[in-house]
Amino acid sequence: MKKRIVLYKRLPEALLARLQQQVEVTWVDTSGSDGLARLRDALPGAHGLLGASLRLDSSLLDLAPQLEVVASVSVGVDNYDVAELTRRGVMLTNTPDVLTETTADTGFALILATARRVVELAGWVRDGHWQANLGPAHFGSDVHGKTLGIVGMGRIGEALARRGAAGFGMRVLYHSSRAKPEVEARYGARYRTLDELLREADFVCLTVPLSASTEGLIGARELSLMKPEAILVNIARGRVVDEQALLAALQAKRIRGAGLDVFVQEPLPARSPLLQLDNVVATPHIGSATHETREAMARCAVENLLSALAGQRPANLVNEV
């Protein structure tokens, strides 16, 4: 008899067909006010879950005593209580490698857009204000030859370092849980304490995973260490930054600007004061949002799930059970 999985993220037709050949698939649309109730109804008897952007707590897990694997279509696993899944003997998998380059592209897009004031000035042109040659009031700042500070030298951090060093001739600094001699050799990167990096970098790019040690990592004190002309770019998680402290720093022009793809509350409310600032470029969590990457992530999640249900060790196992 086929094992049963609950799918709560839409998949390309070919991947869905592959799943249906090997397991019984129950599709649940978790959008809307009754989405969680529909999921709760579907959980009893489930051997696997496949989806993303849903916080799985103990009350939901209690409804699926036969659960063997949760396959997340994401690299981040902050929506999951990893310790609780491990205690229950449930495997958790993610999709790390396939989104590295795309997310690094997003980070550099935010660096360029913020430094060169692309969004602000494109809107200025669209509104009919371009009536004469630009003056200093509308100038941006160079990216090439500047100092790129990367907080979190994992896969995405290294991809950013490569773009900065090889593509833009940037001096690369990094802060991470440990020194990375191989990255230093490849890109001339130099390790710094967090405070040192904040003081020296022209662009501070956050790529750390969200954890107890990184939540609120960048607050008022850290922002005060940055250069007045520095730009903060966050492609990690919203809660890595104290948003109110960032707002105050941006309003007071204590830093030049921010490029933000992630926020404490997502979707970002239309009334957010961040959206009232010309020195903020805000994007709707598009780090991995390309057709090619999202399909590759879904394929990876399907392979993880099927491998786990077949009694094998998935390639991207987060926890050891």
Average the pLDDT over 155-170 and give the result.
Answer: 98
What distance lies between CA 213 and its chain's CA centroid?
A: 17
Give yes or no for a cis peptide into 267 (omega within 30° of 0).
yes
Structure tokens at 242: 């104290």
What percent of the chain shows pLDDT beyond 70?
A: 100
Rounded to two decimals, the pTM is: 0.91
SS3 254: coil
pLDDT band at 298; cut points 50, 70, 90 = very high
Structure tokens at 145: 């030859």
Q: Tell me how far apart the alpha carbons of residues 286 and 103 are, in angstroms, rounded to a whole number.
A: 8
- Same fold for the pair 4-97+291-309 and 99-282: yes
Q: Are 232 and 204 in contact (CB under 8 A)?
A: yes
SS3 224: helix
pLDDT digits (tens, 9 = 90+) for 168-198: 999 999 999 999 999 999 999 999 999 999 9
Q: Break the chain into its structural domains and give their ranges.
A: 4-97+291-309, 99-282
Please give the mean pLDDT across all residues of the chain: 96
The pLDDT value given to residue 56: 87
The rounded radius of gyration (Å) of the Cα atoms in the chain is 22
Q: Are 28 and 6 in contact (CB under 8 A)?
A: yes
Strands (E), the chain: 4-7, 24-27, 48-51, 69-72, 91-93, 147-151, 171-175, 190-191, 203-206, 231-234, 257-260, 280-282
Q: Tell me how far apart the alpha carbons of residues 103 and 205 are, in angstroms, rounded to a whole number.
A: 12
Give me the active site residues, please: 237, 266, 285
Average the pLDDT over 252-259 and give the result.
Answer: 98
Check whether domain 4-97+291-309 has CATH 1.10.10.10, yes or no: no
pLDDT digits (tens, 9 = 90+) for 52-97: 988 888 999 999 999 999 999 999 898 899 999 999 999 999 999 9
Average the pLDDT over 1-20 and give the result.
Answer: 95
Average the pLDDT over 229-246 and give the result.
Answer: 98
Q: Taking the alpha carbons of 139, 140, 143, 147 in that order, is the dihedral positive or negative?
A: positive
Q: Is the pLDDT of residue 117 over 90?
A: yes
Q: Is the pLDDT of residue 99 over 90?
A: yes
Per DSSP, the residues of 26-42 read: EE----STTHHHHHHHH
Q: Tell me how far apart the alpha carbons of residues 202 and 255 are, in angstroms, rounded to a whole number.
A: 10
Classify 99-282 by CATH class. alpha beta
The pLDDT value given to residue 221: 98
